[in-house]
């Protein structure tokens, strides 16, 4: 028997790979995967900066 979603209470779908199980809820999008969000976000490099860096390294 699959557990219920902690967000919305609907039934969770179970996925298993290499002996590890993960749960997801198709109703609300919940995914039962632990994540650490404590780090600083990385700034995305702009195309202009990337091209400048590319030409400087050439």
Digit-by-digit pLDDT tens for the chain (58 residues) are 567 999 999 999 998 889 888 899 999 999 877 777 787 778 889 999 999 999 987 6
Look up the pTM and report it: 0.49
**Contact in structure between 44 and 55 (CB atoms under 8 Å):** no
Q: What is the pLDDT of residue 58?
A: 67
Q: What is the pLDDT of residue 46?
A: 92
Contacts of 39 (CB under 8 A, 6+ apart): none
Closest CA to 28 of 5, 46, 49: 5
Q: What is the pLDDT of residue 3?
A: 77
Length of the chain: 58
Measured between alpha carbons, how far is 34 from 23 in angstroms, rounded to an integer?
Answer: 11
Q: What is the pLDDT of residue 9?
A: 93
């Amino acid at each position: 028997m699959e557990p219920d979603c902690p967000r919305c209470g609907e039934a969770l779908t179970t996925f298993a790979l290499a002996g590890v199980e993960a749960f997801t809820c198709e109703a609300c999008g919940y995914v039962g995967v632990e994540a650490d969000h404590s780090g600083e976000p990385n700034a995305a490099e702009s195309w202009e900066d990337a091209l400048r860096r590319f030409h400087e390294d050439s």
